[in-house]
Amino acid sequence: MATVFTRIINGELPGRIIWSDEHCVSMVDIRPLHPGHSLVIPRAEIDHWVDLEARLASHLMTVAHHVAKAQKAVVTSPRVGLMIAGFEVPHTHMHVVPMSSMAHLDFANARRGDPAELDAMADRLREALRDQGHTDTVV
């Protein structure tokens, strides 16, 4: 059975995808730890990140880096955190989270995002990614 991420990638479920290429997507998390929280997800359903091919893992990190730069452009926070937890969905994904404290990496603080705010954030991140020159990968 396909994971929820695969179903979003395939267009079966809605998602606020901000980046799409042949290897991965990035989308705004619907339960953000902090405004701008996004996920970077390989298209391949690989449960544990240590099972990724090194080249794919490197690509995901590169995309996370681009997303983090976009977040820095649109969200006021001194840091952007990166976390791979892997317990919530059995499909590797990186959490890219603008943060001003370690509490912004605590899933106990996640809340269901307001759809209008999530849409607006996705638009702002897409624009920042385009401003960085990523016009061919921004959805």
**Could you confirm whether 34 is annotated as catalytic?**
no
d(CA 60, CA 93): 9
Cα 74 to Cα 70, 107, 126: the distances in Å are 7, 22, 10
Of residues 34, 91, 93, 95, which has the active-site annotation?
93
User: Taking a C-beta distance cutoff of 8 angstroms, is the pair 77, 100 a contact?
Assistant: yes
Q: For strand 38-42 and strand 24-28, is the pairing parallel, antiparallel, or unpaired?
A: antiparallel
Residues with a catalytic annotation lie at 93
